[in-house]
Amino acid sequence: MADDLVDILESQGIASPFPIQALTIPDALAGRDVCGKAKTGSGKTLAFGLPMVESLRDAKPRRPVALVLVPTRELCAQVTEAVQPLAQARGHEVVAIYGGVSMKEQIDGLRRGAEVVIATPGRLIDLFERKAVALDGVEIAVIDEADEMADLGFLPQVRWIMRAVDGDHQTMLFSATLGGSVGALIESYMEDPVFHEVESDSVTVETSEHRFLQVHHMDKAKVAARIAASAERTLVFVRTKRGCDLVARELRDLGVAARPIHGNLPQGKRERMLAAFAEGHSNVLVATNVAARGLDIEGVDIVLHYDPPEDSKTYVHRSGRTARAGEEGLVVTFVEWDQIEMVHKVQIEAGLSEPIVKMFSNDQRVDHLRSWIPPSELVRPEVKRTTVRAARGRRRR
């Protein structure tokens, strides 16, 4: 990479590339279509952001030369934050386009001739139909978190946009999985792509410790408050929007600085909640799955599944908000008595061998969950045979 971009990275404490970056950047710089497969938190944003900025030329008004499609508003803001200083160093402008906020600032940025557009599909199509943006000048198109696009039902919109990018261009796609509908997207819109994958012997975040606690429904908020007291930043996941508001309120009643974030909140309020959490004004963020993708907040010490996920994919996406880019983290899952079998299935799919241990809010072990290691005799025999060796290997690393 050019020295000016390397200097910016070093000022951010980034001195060497992560594996997905080392694999994909050379081919991206060479102009190849690139598919990158890697787990969440592996550095995919810079894997496409750096070569994209390196290749930018000046744009005409309303005709960006680089387009990044992302599934959520939060991810749009995070990618913009990562790419913007690199682009500005070259005199280029980045505009973030997403719903829930006024169009005026976004349209003004396009009129000024922003080189890079980072967008959610729905708002981008809206602006396209208003003739506020044209896509025939796009030379680099990126589809980020393609599997999440598919899960959220956005692939028809992605296909609509990719058909509008009709000139000669380079396409990069990054995803946690490359099969199924994502594979069909690759076949339709990429030309002789090179595939790169960062392999992992586990679908979970390997630098995290995982704990499963059987808790009583009436005691959950107190256990959560005690766990949060042992960390600077705790991200709490719940199943519903109503539950999100309720849990945040219960934690505040227990003296915890907790704030909710979910899809019913106005975008401005969502951004203020995220900023307060990222800047340390509140040490707990209670979120629905809207935050399971896209959040890249440094220093999340604990991810707490207040409501356990129903499948391993959701478990991985949520858990990936801690232990970002090789850092260590703690993942705690609450399990009520009627959820034990469901959580057992998630554990087996995720390759986890941790036992489900009953705890109450007055249990001293709650304060030291990261260092406390459940006795091996508590591991269920059918799980121990297949996964305990891998789990001990993660601990050693």
Q: Is residue 54 part of a domain?
A: yes
pLDDT score for 292:
57
pTM given for the model: 0.73
pLDDT score for 377:
59
Same domain, 287 and 329: yes
Which DSSP string corresponds to 230-261? TSS-EEEE-SSHHHHHHHHHHHHHTT--EEEE
Interior angle at CA 235, CA 276 and CA 326, nearest 5: 105
Residue whose tokens read 């959490």 = 277
pLDDT score for 379:
57
pLDDT score for 90:
95
Q: Is residue 28 part of a domain?
A: yes
Beta bridge partners of 208: 329
Q: Is residue 202 part of a domain?
A: no
Same domain, 102 and 187: yes
Same domain, 240 and 328: yes
Closest to 142 in 3D by CA, of 34, 56, 67: 67
Same domain, 236 and 365: yes
Interior angle at CA 8, CA 5 and CA 12, nearest 5: 140
Per-residue pLDDT of the chain (397 residues; tens, 9 = 90+): 999 999 999 999 999 999 999 999 999 999 999 999 987 667 899 999 999 999 999 999 999 999 999 998 888 988 999 999 999 999 999 999 999 888 999 999 999 999 999 999 999 999 999 999 999 999 999 999 998 898 888 999 999 999 999 889 999 999 888 888 899 999 999 999 999 998 654 445 555 789 999 999 999 999 999 999 989 999 999 999 999 999 999 999 999 999 999 878 887 888 888 888 888 889 999 998 765 565 667 788 999 999 999 888 888 888 877 866 556 789 999 999 999 999 999 999 888 888 999 999 999 999 999 888 887 656 554 444 344 334 444 444 4
Which DSSP string corresponds to 3-19? HHHHHHHHHTT--S--H
Same domain, 181 and 222: no
Task: State which of 197, 223, 242 marks the end of a domain.
Answer: 197
pLDDT score for 296:
66
Same domain, 219 and 335: yes
- Distance, in Å, from the CA atom of 259 to the CA atom of 301, rounded to the nearest integer, reads 17
Contacts 24+ apart (CB under 8 A), 53-56: 53/5, 53/83, 53/86, 53/87, 53/90, 53/92, 53/116, 54/1, 54/2, 54/5, 54/29, 55/29, 55/31, 55/139, 55/140, 55/170, 56/87, 56/90, 56/92, 56/115, 56/116
Same domain, 137 and 262: no
pLDDT score for 391:
41
pLDDT score for 207:
59
CATH of the domain at 292: 3.40.50.300
- The token pair at 82 is 């990562």
Same domain, 323 and 259: yes
pLDDT score for 396:
40
Task: State which of 197, 216, 251 marks the end of a domain.
Answer: 197
Domain that holds residue 270: 208-396
pLDDT score for 208:
79
